[in-house]
Every structure is written in structure tokens, then in C-alpha cells.
A and B are shown apart, each in its own frame.
Chain A
Amino acid sequence: MRLEPIASPSPARRIVPPALAMAATFLVAALLALIAGGNPFAVFGLILNGAFGSKFALLETLNSATPLIFTGLAIAVAFRAKLWNIGAEAQLYAGAVLTVILGTGALGLPSYLMLPLCALAAMLAGALLLLGPALLKTRLGVDEVVTTLLFNFIFLLFVSYLLEGPLKDPMGMGWPKSARLTSEARLPRIVDGLRLHWGFALALAAALLVWVINTRTTLGYEMRAVGQNAEAAGFAGIPVTRVILKTALLSGGLAGLAGFSEVSGLKGALTLDLSPGFGYTGIVVAMLALLHPLGVVVAALFVAAIFVGADSMSRAVGVPSYIADIMLASALLFMVLAILLTKFRVRRD
């Protein structure tokens, strides 16, 4: 079997494989629903309903999409430069930790100062956390996939220590939890009475910013060049190491913002289960979006819808909610194959 590049793919060739990929994903899900004793159509209907069927559901979906937009952006930025940041989970928690340190009463700042301060601190924390593995990569050639992955475990243990110790809620019942953020440190709701908070708007703004960086700035150009062919980029004079480090700072910072947004906008305090894997799901989001920042928004909404919908469906029908994770992992694998087939022809040889 041989792969032959296609000079100019026809519109059909650009659309059919990804469409087939999504169809295959739904087929897999339908099969699994059947195995669990559910009716696939009912299951899909309930998922859709659970995601968009009511105002509450819709807002829930948008809220769930918010951290995914941040981590999706974080990973899209990193992967574009071939920096395999699998540590967004830890970077998210780092941002959450800084938010809690600053926002639970240590500083008496009004909210228009407190919120930007927490956000910046969160970004800095996330950025610094990724800087370590990035430096190991540039200085010593250590593969960042494993180092960032292992760091997730390390940092989560560190958070566990913090929550049982220095950051423990003095008024808590022994459950590992931080003190609550003051009202100045809370991101307000977008509309009073609804759960949707300003973190969502911040996420959309971040997506726009990343898009502008990618297409209009020299940094965006450099990141793409380094990601596609670091050797040629270096030969042409692009400062490869500096670009990788800048990418790491940007990527880690975005993931740190996810932590800030979740703690300040949604939860109000830090617990160990703040993130049910946003850092990893961000990978799926980024890949489904083809690493495009605006695509990340769409993909994050799609992924959030599936999770929220599946949760609701599972409570109603009893098909395990893990079907959502399976759908997303399948979608990832099918999509990656489909994208290849939009650019290459398969030839027997």
C-alpha cells in the first residue's frame, strides 16, 4: 500500500472523509448502546436533549465547554509547534492553585483588580509548569510527552498535599477542600440568575487572540515553521529554541486560565476533582479542530454537548456515561485518518 499526495483535492474529497468519520463514530456509539441494552435512537435523542433541550441544558453545555476551549487552545498552540503538551491537566490545576492562594482573602483588592491579577497569576503558573519540560526538551532532548504526563501525577499529588495542609479550608468538614474565594475574586455571571459565567466570554476572546497570533504575527509564523520543520526553520535563522519556549509559555498559560475560570467562575473553591480530565479531553478537542483556534471553539462545544448530554442520558436510561468518552476517542482516531485521506490517495503497489 502506498500513499500518494493529491495536488488539489476536490471539494468532495475534503468533505466526505470527515463526514464518514463522524458517521463511523455514531455507528460505534450506536453499537455500544445496543450492547448496553439501550435503543440507539433513544440514546442519541436523550444526549441531544440533555445537551440542548432546555435553557438549563444549553447553559450547562456552554459552561462545560469553557474549560475545554482553554485547554483545547493550549494544546492546539503547542501541537502546532510540535510541542507535545500532555500536561495541560497539571497546568490547569496550577492556575487553580494560584487563584485560590490570591483570592481567598489574602489580598483586599476590588474585583476589577483582583480578577485580572488572579487570571495573570494563573497564566504564569501554568506557563512556568510547562517551561520545565520544554527546557528539558530543548536543552537535553528529553521527550516532553512522558515528562508532561508524569508531571500530571506529580502535581495532582502536590495539590492533594496543599488541600490537606496549607490551603485547607478552616471551616471544612475534613473533606480536602480549599477555602472559598471571596466575592471579589469570583467571575460574575453573564446574565444574573443564569449559571453561565464570564469565563465563557474570556474563552472566546482567547480563541480570537490565538487566531490573530497564528495568522498575523511573526510569532505565529515562527511557531508554524518550527512545528513543521524545525531544521529548515533553524537554518533560515528562526530562533527555534526561543520559539519553542514562547510556545510553552503561551500553551501553559492558556491551560492555567482554564483552572482560573473553573475556580473563579464555576466552583468557587478548589477540590481534587476540579477537573475530570479537561487536560486530556483538550487533546481530543484540539485534534478534532485540526489545531485551528476557531475550530477549537466549535469542537469544544461539540465535546461538551456529548458529555453533558451523555450524563443526562445515563441518568435516564442507564447506558453508562462512558459512552461519551468512547465516542470522543473514536472520533479522534477516525478523524485523524479521515484528514489523511483528504490529502492522500491510497494506491496498491
Chain B
Amino acid sequence: MDLFDILLSASFWAAAIRIASPLIFATLGELICERAGVLNLGIEGIMVAGAFAGWIAVWAGLPLWGGVAVAMLTGMMLGLVHSILSVPFGLSQHVVGIGLTLLATSLTFYTYRVVLPEVSSPPKITAFQPYEIPLLSDLPLVGPALFSQTPLTYAGFILAALTALVLYRTPLGLAVRAAGENPSAVAAQGLSVTAIRMGAVIVGSGFMSVGGAFLTLSAFDSFFFDMVNGRGWICIALVVFGAWKPGKAVMGAILFAAFDALQIRLQQTGIGAVVPYQVFLMLPYFLSILALVVMSRRAEIPAALMVPFNKGER
């Protein structure tokens, strides 16, 4: 199969959308945090925790959407920890985020070992099955690619649309956008910057953990330790690449996922015999760095990102 064949195959694009789905959730989550002015470097750990929490809840007997809910709540609690430290206390968002990633990851692994002490391989669950949307899934190429995905993928796209709607057309979204640009403007209009920023971080973290749960509940059907493997960091690059706009961020996630799907398939082709497989695996990370460099003009960066708001500071 050569490059052209790959790009025209429905299975390629279906894989791309599937790979993009956890990225979409997590990128939206980070976008909401950053729009409000908070960099959330806990994203990697929150995704790990969400992947585990959703999976273990389903293994313990909850239905799949129950698992998703548990994952979301886990993320929101972690987001609460982050927001308490980074917003009212104004601690360094770099340190809080990295500390949270370490904490969430180690708590996850600890809980795993406590709950499943003797397992040699992690138990499997019955994951979300693809649901073919009637009529639409029969369209050529687009059908299998877009409309034969799991319900959780559909939820991701709906969430993206909802996020854009709320962000740009509601008073709440306006307040979030203002909080990340000039929190004094928000305070002067009688709103609480603290509440808005904390709320954004909590909600955003909930999205991130659902992104993690996608890996265990939809993409795969089990949890393993290296599962997230840097996806969280890639989502941070995707937010920048999407210029902090939900629509562009989703596009970026799909583009990135397409490259990822491509490198997996290219390993099977003639190129794969010559180039070491590690090079292919490196490509997604290089791409992310490239995305950051390309977007380094950064006129759209929220002006108050990472700047704590201390009321009445002269």
C-alpha cells in the first residue's frame, strides 16, 4: 500500500478520528483553562487518572457511561486541587501543574496496585462499540470515517460544538474570555475572577479526564501503565496550534491524529523497511514542537495567561 492508497482509505480516516478523540477532549479541557488564564500542566496526570478511574469503575460493575462519569468526577477533583493552589493562592502554575501530574500519576499506580495486587495482566472490560449512524454511515469514505465511531467520539464532537457556543455566545463564556485577558475588567464588572478561573479549571480538568477514559473505554479495553504516553503534553501544543479557538483546536487534533495514523501505516510500507520504527514513533512529538514553532507569533495568546490576580494589588 503506498501513501496515496493509505490517504484514500476509509479505515485510515476512521483510525485518525479514533486517535483524535481523546486529544479532542483533553485539548478542549486545556483550552478552557487557558482561556480563563490558567495553564494546567496537570493534564498528563489527569488523563492517566481518568483512564484508570473510568476503567476501574466499569470493571467494578458500572455501565460504560457511568465509568465516563466517574472519570469526569476524578478529573474535576484533581482540577479542584490545582485551582485552589493556582488561583486564590496564585502559586506558580508550572510547579502546581507538574506536581499535580506527578501526584495523579502516582496515585493512579498506587491505587492500581492496591486494588489489583496479584494480576499479571490487567483485566479487560467490554468497551464502547462503534455505533453506525443510520444513513450517514453509508456515505463513501466519510461514512465509515466519521459516522461509524463509538458514542464517546460523537460526544467529543458535540462537546466541541457546545464549548464554542458557550465560549462565544453566552455571558459565562464572555466572562471566561475576559478573565484570561484582563481579570481587572472582570472584577470591575462585579464578577469574581477567582470563581470563574477555578470553575474553568475544574470543568476543563473534567474534560481532560474523559479524554483519558476514552483510551480505556473506547480505544482499548484495558488499562496499562504507559497508556497516555505524552498525549497530555501534545494537547498543550495543540491548544497553541489552534490559537485557543475550539474549532481550530479540533482541526489540529484531527490533523495530528492523521499524521499519527499515517506513521503507523507507513511502518508497514517500503519505507518502514529502511527507516527504524523509532523514527516513526518520534514523528508525533516532532510535529507538536513544529506546531508550537509555527504558531509562535502568538498574537492570540490570552494576555493574562499564567498571571495570578491579586485583588487590590497596587
A residues neighboring B (CB under 8 Å): 1-3, 32, 35-37, 84, 86, 136, 140-143, 145-147, 149-151, 153-154, 157-158, 160-161, 164-165, 280, 283-284, 287, 318, 320, 322-323, 325-326, 328-330, 332-333, 336-337, 340, 349
Q: Which residues of B contact A164 (CB under 8 A)?
A: 276
Q: Which residues of B contact A141 (CB under 8 A)?
A: 296, 298
Instruction: State which of B99, B109, B114, B312 has its C-beta within 8 Å of the C-beta of A35.
Output: B114
Q: Mark B279-314, 1 if CB is under 8 A from A, else 0.
A: 101100110110011001010000000000011100
Are A349 and B311 in contact (CB-based, < 8 A)?
yes
Are A160 and B90 in contact (CB-based, < 8 A)?
no
A-B contact pairs, 23 of them (CB 8 A): A2-B311, A32-B110, A36-B114, A37-B114, A84-B94, A136-B292, A140-B296, A145-B41, A146-B236, A146-B237, A150-B233, A150-B288, A154-B282, A154-B285, A164-B276, A165-B276, A280-B102, A320-B113, A325-B110, A326-B103, A329-B100, A330-B103, A336-B99
Are B288 and A146 in contact (CB-based, < 8 A)?
yes
Instruction: State which of A3, A35, A154, A333 has its C-beta within 8 Å of the C-beta of B90.
Output: A3
- Give Cα A161–Cα B281 distance, bound, in whole angstroms: 11
Contacts of B49-104 to chain A: CB distance below 8 A: 81, 85, 88-92, 94-96, 98-100, 102-103
Is the CB of B150 closer than 8 A to any CB of chain A? no
Given known A-B contacts A2-B310, A161-B279, A340-B89, A140 and B102 have beta carbons under 8 A apart: no
B108: nearest chain-A partner, CB-CB = A322
Are A145 and B94 in contact (CB-based, < 8 A)?
yes
Q: Which residues of A contact B230 (CB under 8 A)?
A: 149-150, 153
- Give Cα A147–Cα B234 distance, bound, in whole angstroms: 10
Are B117 and A318 in contact (CB-based, < 8 A)?
yes
Besides A150-B237, A161-B276, A284-B102, 7 new A-B residue pairs in contact (Cβ under 8 A), listed by A number: A140-B293, A150-B230, A164-B276, A287-B95, A320-B109, A325-B102, A333-B96
Are A329 and B103 in contact (CB-based, < 8 A)?
yes
- Give Cα A103–Cα B95 distance, bound, in whole angstroms: 37
Q: Mark B220-240, 1 if CB is under 8 A from A, else 0.
A: 000000000110011011001
Q: Which residues of A contact B89 (CB under 8 A)?
A: 3, 337, 340
Q: Which residues of A contact B88 (CB under 8 A)?
A: 1
- Give Cα A145–Cα B292 distance, bound, in whole angstroms: 11
Are B99 and A333 in contact (CB-based, < 8 A)?
yes
Q: Which residues of B contact A287 (CB under 8 A)?
A: 95, 99
Are A136 and B94 in contact (CB-based, < 8 A)?
no
Q: Which residues of A contact B209 (CB under 8 A)?
A: none
Is the CB of B106 closer than 8 A to any CB of chain A? yes
Is the CB of B120 closer than 8 A to any CB of chain A? no
Are B296 and A142 in contact (CB-based, < 8 A)?
yes
Instruction: State which of B98, B107, B279, B289 has its C-beta within 8 Å of the C-beta of A147.
Output: B289
Is the CB of B148 closer than 8 A to any CB of chain A? no
Is the CB of B194 closer than 8 A to any CB of chain A? yes
Is the CB of B170 closer than 8 A to any CB of chain A? no
- Give Cα A164–Cα B88 distance, bound, in whole angstroms: 50
Q: Which residues of A contact B236 (CB under 8 A)?
A: 145-146
Are A337 and B107 in contact (CB-based, < 8 A)?
no
Q: Which residues of A contact B114 (CB under 8 A)?
A: 35-37, 320
Is the CB of B189 closer than 8 A to any CB of chain A? no
Is the CB of B121 closer than 8 A to any CB of chain A? no
Are B95 and A149 in contact (CB-based, < 8 A)?
no
- Give Cα A39–Cα B114 distance, bound, in whole angstroms: 14
Are A336 and B96 in contact (CB-based, < 8 A)?
yes
Q: Which residues of B contact A325 (CB under 8 A)?
A: 102, 105-106, 109-110
- Give Cα A32–Cα B95 distance, bound, in whole angstroms: 23
Closest Cβ–Cβ distance, residue A18 to chain B (whole Å): 15
- Give Cα A328–Cα B296 distance, bound, in whole angstroms: 34
Instruction: State which of B106, B276, B278, B312 has its C-beta within 8 Å of the C-beta of A326.
Output: B106
Instruction: State which of A153, A320, A323, A332 has its C-beta within 8 Å of the C-beta of B95.
Output: A332
Q: Which residues of A contact B95 (CB under 8 A)?
A: 283, 287, 332, 336
Q: Which residues of A contact B194 (CB under 8 A)?
A: 1
